[in-house]
């Protein structure tokens, strides 16, 4: 019996994909990485995942776990050898249970993020993880990369939203760790070890996540600014004025929003005249637990002060939920519009907020000196210091000629990030994209400890080989 026949016998014919049926699973959605696989396997339960892993361990077959395949660093794409199997978790898509007294939900790894959000809303709760790909990314992928998103400022990254995990180890054992406890001081925190490990230590099959009360009211505003310095000052004032009620603060370069409007004429920038052509904008959101009146009063007080002090040159405040969604839709459409205008060189970096303005100013200048005419496409979550600092072809480059310079651009930006005490990966992970440069910017003892953990848990190197660690 062939290996494929053994897998078919284990999972059933419809859930073992080869050839053309496997193509969408072996290429990343950006088209940057193309791989090959022995087969794409689609187990339907944790037990089936464990059976697949045991089979792979016995036959020394590498495994590439995959969720919604929306990642940006190639972590869910196999290499081109055709020796690995891709293990797609999308059939593990059940909400196993909701406990409103404990404010927890148990979800399987293949659940679409948007479905988890809706399941929480259905019981008048909030699951706050929110990002542009929420209609297609899965909880398993969010956990594997410790995804961030737009509300990290208030609720933290995915790691802070998880209480327990269910994991299949590289040997095919199942760790039943779905405890819904907020205090459990009984040894090493394995949960945090697996979250963010990008499938290199085991396969997350389910999680117990935290729920929160739905906010009584939300206020959203788009602010027109003249500089990043002003944005940082407004953020500081908003933190002081709103406290933990400040749930979002996005920094957006003007050309990003103007690109969205050009690409999608049905959307519009809600400013006129000079305010429609400002170099920077900020999208700010307050979530209030008391009342709409209380939220509006706090919102208008803080906004009035920063406008009076000249930090904000113009502001549009959403009058209802429809207008609020339209403002957020502008922000969330930036990556889609960017893709329409051609490939760019992307960076997902974090910088101390106090040094953000200086980083942008000096790095922009250094790039223009080395690559005159490139375009800076900058947006991100200023509240937690995360920028998507991207470089587009501008007027002086074609797409191909820009990509020929990508490694020089990466080096320049990463060196600048390092000088400013930042990280070369804020929320997208390492994958294949940053694997080889990671040792340059990470403490050597830290790298050695990571390698020892990998070797201890996955001694045969079968779990997502070639990702995170070379």
Output the DSSP codes for 28-85.
-TTSS-B---SEEE--SSHHHHHHHHHHHHHHT--EEEESSS--SSSTT---TTS--E
Cβ proximity of 432 and 166 under 8 Å:
no
Q: How many helices (H) and strands (E) does the chain have?
A: 17, 18
Nearest to 364 by CA among 385, 397, 331, 389: 389
Nearest to 168 by CA among 140, 149, 128: 140
Output the pLDDT for position 225.
97
Question: Are 3-88 and 95-213 equal in CATH topology?
Answer: no
What CATH code is assigned to 95-213?
A: 3.30.465.10
Report helix, strand or coil for 219.
strand
The alpha carbon of residue 388 and the mean position of all alpha carbons in its chain are separated, in whole angstroms, by 11
Taking phi over 0 as left and psi of -120 to 50 as alpha, with beta for the rest, 117 belongs to: alpha
Domains of the chain, by residue range, sit at: 3-88, 95-213, 217-336, 342-440
Q: Residue 73 to residues 32, 76, 425, 429, 468: CA-CA distances in angstroms?
A: 9, 8, 10, 7, 10
Neighbouring C-beta atoms of residue 17, cutoff 10 Å? 20
Residues 201, 406: Cα–Cα separation, whole Å: 30
The arrangement of secondary structure in 3-88, i.e. its CATH architecture, is 2-Layer Sandwich (3.30)
Domain 217-336, classified CATH 3.60.15.10, yes or no:
no
pTM of the model: 0.93
Q: Residue 19 to residues 38, 70, 77, 280: CA-CA distances in angstroms?
A: 9, 21, 16, 47
Q: Residue 236 to residues 224, 233, 328: CA-CA distances in angstroms?
A: 16, 5, 21
Neighbouring C-beta atoms of residue 434, cutoff 10 Å? 21
Which residues of the chain have a pLDDT value below 50? none
Residue 207, φ and ψ in degrees, nearest 5? -150, 150
Cβ proximity of 204 and 194 under 8 Å:
yes
Structure tokens at 458: 């996955």
Structure tokens at 189: 């925190």
Cβ proximity of 199 and 463 under 8 Å:
yes
Residue whose structure tokens are 């999208």: 283
Total count of residues recorded for the chain: 470
Residue 320, φ and ψ in degrees, nearest 5? -160, 175
Output the pLDDT for position 70.
94
Give just the sign of the alpha carbon dihedral 429, 432, 433, 436. positive
Longest dimension (CA), the chain: 77
Cβ proximity of 124 and 103 under 8 Å:
no
Burial of 128 (0-12, 13-18, 19+ CB in 10 A): buried
Looking at the domain 342-440, which fold is it?
A: Alpha-Beta Plaits (3.30.70)
Residue 176, φ and ψ in degrees, nearest 5? -90, 85
Residues 346, 148: Cα–Cα separation, whole Å: 17
């Amino acid at each position: 019996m062939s290996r494929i026949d053994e897998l078919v016998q284990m999972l059933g014919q419809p859930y073992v994909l080869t050839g053309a049926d496997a193509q969408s699973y072996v290429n990343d959605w950006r088209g940057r990485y193309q791989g090959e696989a022995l087969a794409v396997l689609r187990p339907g339960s944790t037990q089936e995942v464990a059976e697949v892993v045991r089979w792979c361990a016995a036959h020394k077959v590498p495994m590439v776990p995959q969720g919604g395949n929306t990642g940006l660093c190639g972590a869910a794409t196999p290499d081109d050898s055709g020796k690995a199997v891709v293990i797609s978790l999308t059939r593990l898509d059940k909400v196993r249970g909701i406990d409103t007294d404990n404010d927890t939900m148990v979800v399987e790894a293949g659940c679409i993020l948007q479905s988890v959000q809706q399941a929480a809303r259905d019981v008048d709760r909030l699951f706050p993880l929110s990002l542009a790909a929420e209609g297609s990314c899965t909880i398993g992928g969010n956990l594997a990369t410790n995804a961030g998103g737009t509300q990290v400022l208030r609720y933290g990254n995915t790691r802070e939203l998880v209480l327990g995990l269910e994991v299949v180890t590289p040997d095919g054992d199942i760790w039943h760790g779905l405890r819904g406890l907020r205090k459990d001081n009984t040894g090493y925190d394995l949960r945090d070890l697996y979250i963010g490990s990008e499938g290199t230590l085991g396969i997350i099959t389910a999680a117990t996540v935290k729920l929160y009360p739905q906010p009584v009211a939300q206020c959203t505003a788009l602010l027109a600014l003249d500089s990043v310095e002003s944005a940082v000052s407004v953020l500081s004032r908003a933190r002081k004025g709103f406290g933990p009620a400040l749930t979002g603060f996005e920094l957006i370069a003007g050309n990003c929003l103007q690109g969205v409007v050009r690409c999608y004429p049905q959307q519009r920038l809600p400013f006129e005249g000079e305010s429609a052509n400002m170099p920077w904008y900020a999208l700010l959101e307050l979530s209030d637990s008391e009342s709409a009146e209380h939220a509006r009063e706090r919102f208008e007080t803080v906004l009035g002060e920063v406008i009076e002090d000249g930090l904000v040159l113009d502001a549009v405040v959403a009058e209802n939920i429809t207008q609020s969604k339209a403002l957020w839709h502008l922000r969330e459409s930036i990556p889609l519009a960017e893709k329409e205008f051609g490939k760019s060189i992307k960076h997902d970096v974090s910088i101390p907020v106090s040094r953000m303005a200086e980083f942008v100013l000096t790095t922009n200048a250094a790039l223009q000196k080395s690559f005159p005419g490139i375009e800076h496409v900058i947006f991100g979550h200023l509240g937690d210091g995360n920028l998507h600092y991207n470089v587009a072809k501008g007027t002086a480059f074609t797409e191909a000629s820009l990509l020929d310079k990508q490694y020089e651009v990466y080096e320049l930006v990463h060196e600048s990030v390092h000088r400013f005490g930042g990280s070369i990966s804020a929320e997208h992970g390492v994958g294949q994209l940053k694997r080889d440069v990671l040792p340059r910017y990470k403490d050597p003892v830290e790298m050695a400890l990571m390698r020892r953990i990998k070797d201890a848990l996955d001694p045969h190197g079968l779990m997502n080989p070639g990702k995170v660690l070379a």
